[in-house]
Amino acid sequence: MAYNHDVIERKWQHYWKTHKTFKADIDTTKPKYYALDMFPYPSGQGLHVGHPEGYTATDAISRMRRMQGFNVLHPMGWDAFGLPAEQYALKTGHNPKDFTAQNIKVFKHQIQSLGFSYDWDREINTTDPKFYKWTQWIFEQLYKKGLAYEDKIMVNWAPDFMGGTVVANEEVVDGKTERGGYPVYRVPMRQWVLRITKYADRLIDDLDDVDWPESIKEQQRNWIGRSEGASIFFDVDRHPDAKIEVFTTRPDTLYGATYMVLAPEHDLVNQITTPAQKTEVEAYQEEVSRRSDLERTDLNKDKSGVFTGAYGINPVNGKKIPIWIGDYVLASYGTGAIMAVPAHDERDWDFATKFGLEIIPVIEGGDVTTAAFTEDGPHINSDIVNGMDKKTAIHTMIDWLEEHHAGDKKVNYRLRDWIFSRQRYWGEPIPVIHWEDGESTLVPEDELPLRLPASKQLEPSGTGESPLANIDDWVNVVDENGRKGKRETNTMPQWAGSSWYWLRYMDPHNDDAIASSEALNYWSPVDLYIGGAEHAVLHLLYARFWHKFLYDIGVVPTKEPFQKLVNQGMILGANHEKMSKSKGNVVNPDDIVSQYGADTLRLYEMFMGPLEDSVPWDEKGLHGSNKWIQRLWRLMIDDNNHLRDRVTTYNDGKLTKVYNQTVKKVTEDFSRLHFNTGISQLMVFVNEAYKVDDLPVEYMEGFVKMISPIMPHMAEELWSQFNESETIAYQKWPTYDPAQLVEDEVEIVVQINGKVKSHLKVAKDAAKDDLEKLALADEHVQKNLTDQTVRKVIVIPNKIVNIVAK
RNA sequence: GCCGCUGUGGCGGAAUUGGCAGACGCGCUGGACUCAAAAUCCAGUUCUCGCAAGGGAGUGUGGGUUCGACCCCCACCGGCGGCACCA
């Protein structure tokens, strides 16, 4: 009978569930393997075909590792705080908690229908107070170490978004919110901030120790943006008490500094501006402050600025240079002030050209009247560094500056501290109380978790604060001395829970610690982490930051959380475009499961191309995967659902070679996550098996084991026919006999001038001389060599003979 | 503009170390089975000339290194992703 996926998949999913087949416990006699998926946000849309691609890959590795004797931790959970639930609640009057619970139910059901070998006893949920108790606990440790602080800072304020909210820099794209596309303005506001910049160097340097895609490492390095240079101090003419510190990566060009620019928000601007320039400067400051980020970005092609009337003094030559303000200098980077070297910096060149400022070349080469010259070359017009190249000149100049107390070596980062508060209800409450006397205290650890108050009806506060601000009996507190206080109404961003969740899976029910040190020591680190490339910087940077902090306070045993990281590619629509509702090319995994079964979907997604690549969905290819599943079922199973008689203990040796090749290739390819090529070898084996009369039981058992990581339901059903054990999940992974792969005869290629002319079967390891003779004697070769003289013969034993002739 | 990745049949892709380009699958063509169709099984399928034997071309383009290049080097073109006044 034909394979009935419906019945068989349900049967084995039920078996795994009732037998807790994939329950993981610490077992120090076995090596551990931790395979992790990026846990999903349970959206109302349900699962997308993109989700199961990564999930199937980690599942296949988990299943293979179990069979190879590893103790495997393979968990799943829910990143369930998030904006959509809050928006839904505000819109409909429902509670985000119930809405989220419903979504999780749908997601879980869908995920379970795909037969993943998760240990569901370890399921976690970031919105569960038992989980966020520890998110809050980590926040308190950060606070105690001075890594969490409050600050009135310029934030990205999106007034039209959710009754007004603040979003992180990372969530702003082209001056608009990433979600919703609402305009964003820069305004000062009190925020919680995490001092991630303190870890900047380690976040860059430790990338060298992990097995991650180079592109992700590069993106993180760029995001952190370490740049090495110097701080230089400029005196201000007629202001003996003022000093301007600038950051530059090119201290060697100091003699070419012909003016300075301060950010319009710079503290010294008001102090040094001359009365004559005051009106103009203030008008410019006012204009700039009203610009949104969008406008600033859009207008940046054309540089703007105003002269302050003041002059700085170049420390190296005492020259007076004008001080301008301009918004191409950012207040938030470096010191908010620069020395401008228009001859050798494009931005400065544009500005100088527009405002007619002096341009002095200090490096030979190029023509500074037409463009800035940014290449290396011997220095000129530069007394102490004349003739030197860039590198030498930088060193020399820094030495000079340090000797004369006019500057020093300095490293700067693009990375800013992490704005950690959101004006939302549906997030982890920040466990802080602000007292009427001005003191702020943490909620004591033994009172955690600080729970979100249940609320029937969420309403925007209308003030830009979180909806929590309206819930009086939660916000207002009184201590034992009658002192009144208010709870912090900001909540944590969605990144909080995902910054440590992989640790909780190791010991998910522990009420005394984020996880026991026994569990942390045994399971750490994550051996394989698979997820989408969209988390290249944010999630993965925050997670590494928290992990390093927990390492520093002795909680976790490793410096890095994720040893190996892989980004699965996107599954595109059949038209090669990104799947989206509006394009009508979305494929729903539920439909595939009901039509073809989970094994077909899993097989297809692993076979369609390399895991890391984006590949278009192809209905025909999916159908082909199902055809192959049916084909291999028919190979072994007869019309009465029994093993065919061809499956026998008799081994005529016809499949020996291809079987051993298959074990080798499948084991190696799967280990490297090259599922598409491993599967193609399984197909080769089936094609060969169709050509022979007898199918040795030994090989067929090994074959069924090899398909089990990809097609676990069918594998279990076939395995049950052998009556060896109840489940295949912990059967020993097959091994191959290298002796069976050695040939005594090999086919070598004969080329003339690099073109293949003939093939020869020769004894393995035949001597070079013999190969040369054989090749030259070959009929085809002879024919092709008429009228030609052999100049040279290259012989690579067991591979090739190349005859060079003219 | 800068950084990273990438380019192979009609399509998805393979080629682990510089050594037979196109494994495997889809599609297509033919055959077997069938009254017929579907399904299945078998064979063929880079392009091109040729009845065939056999020949020629061929891994984005142009050059180079090499006995030999999808693979290494240089320049260019296209696609994808990231960053984008970060001094």
pLDDT above 80: residue A736 = yes
Per domain, the residue ranges of chain A are: 227-412, 614-739, 743-805
Which nucleotides in chain B lie less than 7 Å from some protein C-beta? 3-5, 11-16, 19-21, 23-27, 39-43, 55-57, 67-69, 80-83, 85-87
Q: Is the CB of A476 under 7 A from strand B?
A: no
Residue A252 beta carbon within 7 A of nucleic strand B: no
- Which one has a higher pLDDT value, A353 or A779? A353
A122 phi/psi in degrees, rounded to 5 = -105, 10
Q: Give the C-alpha distances (Å, rounded to integers) separating A587 from A583, A584, A594.
A: 11, 9, 13
Question: pLDDT digits over A30-77, tens only?
Answer: 999 999 999 999 988 888 888 899 999 999 999 999 999 999 999 999
Pull the structure tokens for residue A33: 């393997």
A329 touches strand B (CB under 7 A): yes
Q: Is the CB of A227 under 7 A from strand B?
A: yes
Q: What percent of chain A has pLDDT over 90?
A: 65
Mean pLDDT of the A407-418 span:
91
Quickly name the fold that domain A743-805 has: Ubiquitin-like (UB roll) (3.10.20)
Say how far A574 CA is from B69 C1', in Å.
35
Chain A 405..444 CB hits on strand B (< 7 A): 412, 414
With bands split at pLDDT 50, 70 and 90, how would you rate the model's confidence at A746?
Answer: confident
Q: Look at A103 and A171; give whichever has higher pLDDT.
A: A103
The answer to whether A748 and A667 have CB atoms below 8 angstroms apart is: no
Through-space separation of residue A533 CA and nucleotide B20 C1' in angstroms: 38
Estimate in Å the CA A417 to C1' B31 gap, whole number: 71
Among A328-337, A667-676, A733-742, A769-778, whose mean pLDDT is lowest? Answer: A769-778
Strand B and A802 CB separated by under 7 Å: yes
Query: Could you read off the pLDDT of A323-343 as tens digits, one per residue?
Result: 999 988 988 889 999 999 999
| Domain A227-412 identical in fold to domain A614-739 | no
pLDDT of residue A173: 66
Q: Which residues numbered 266-305 in chain A sit less than 7 A from strand B, measured from CB? A: 296-297, 299-300, 303
User: How confident is the model over A281-308, as pLDDT tens digits?
Assistant: 999 998 887 766 556 655 456 788 999 9
Q: Which CATH superfamily is domain A227-412 in?
A: Valyl/Leucyl/Isoleucyl-tRNA synthetase, editing domain (3.90.740.10)
Strands (E), A126-254: 148-158, 165-167, 172-173, 176-177, 185-194, 227-236, 239-248
Is residue A185 within 8 A of residue A159, CB to CB? The reply is yes
SS (H, E, C) A136-161: HHHHHHHHHCCCEEEEEEEEEEECCC
Mean pLDDT along residues A412-433: 92
Residues 603-622 of A with CB under 7 A from strand B: 607-610, 613-616, 618, 620-621
Low-confidence winner among A81-90, A414-423, A532-541, A777-786 (lowest mean pLDDT): A777-786
Task: Identify the CATH homologous superfamily for domain A614-739.
Answer: Isoleucyl-tRNA Synthetase; Domain 1 (1.10.730.10)
- Which pLDDT value is given to residue A475? 94
Query: Does A172 have pLDDT greater than 70?
Result: no
ipTM of the complex: 0.94
Residue with minimal CA–C1' distance to B66 is A754
Other Cβ atoms closer than 10 A to A539: 18
**Which has more confidence, A236 or A177?**
A236
Q: What is the pLDDT of residue A444?
A: 95
pLDDT value of position A56:
96
Quick one: which H or E segment has residue A569? Answer: none
* Chain A residues 38-77 within 7 Å (CB) of strand B: none
**Distance measured from the CA of protein residue A691 to the C1' of nucleotide B43, in angstroms:** 14
Contact, A535 CB vs strand B, < 7 Å: no
Is there contact between A327 and strand B, defined as CB under 7 Å from any strand atom? yes
Which nucleotide across the nucleic acid strands is nearest to A351, CA versus C1'?
Answer: B85
Question: What's the CA–C1' distance between A623 and B35, in Å?
Answer: 29
Q: Is the CB of A205 under 7 A from strand B?
A: no
Distance A694 CA to B17 C1' (A): 37
- Give the pLDDT score at A690: 93
Q: State the pLDDT at residue A408.
A: 93
Does A127 have pLDDT greater than 60?
yes
| Cα–Cα distance, A338 to A323 (Å, whole number) | 10
- Taking the stretch 749-778 of protein chain A, residues with Cβ within 7 Å of any atom in nucleic acid chain B are 749, 751, 753-757, 759
How many contiguous H segments (helices) and E segments (strands) does chain A have? Answer: 26, 31
Q: Residue A503 has what pLDDT? A: 98
Residue A804 contacts strand B, CB under 7 A: yes
* CA-to-C1' span, A617 to B26 (A): 12
pLDDT at A257 over 80: yes
- CA A179 to each of CA A40, A87, A590: distance values in angstroms, whole numbers, following the listed order: 17, 12, 27
Higher pLDDT, A240 or A152: A240
Supply the angle between the helices A598-607 and A675-689 in degrees, to the nearest 10: 110
| Confidence grade of residue A169 (pLDDT, cut at 50, 70, 90) | low
Query: Is the predicted pLDDT of residue A545 greater than 90, yes or no?
Result: yes
Is A627 annotated to bind a ligand? Reply is no
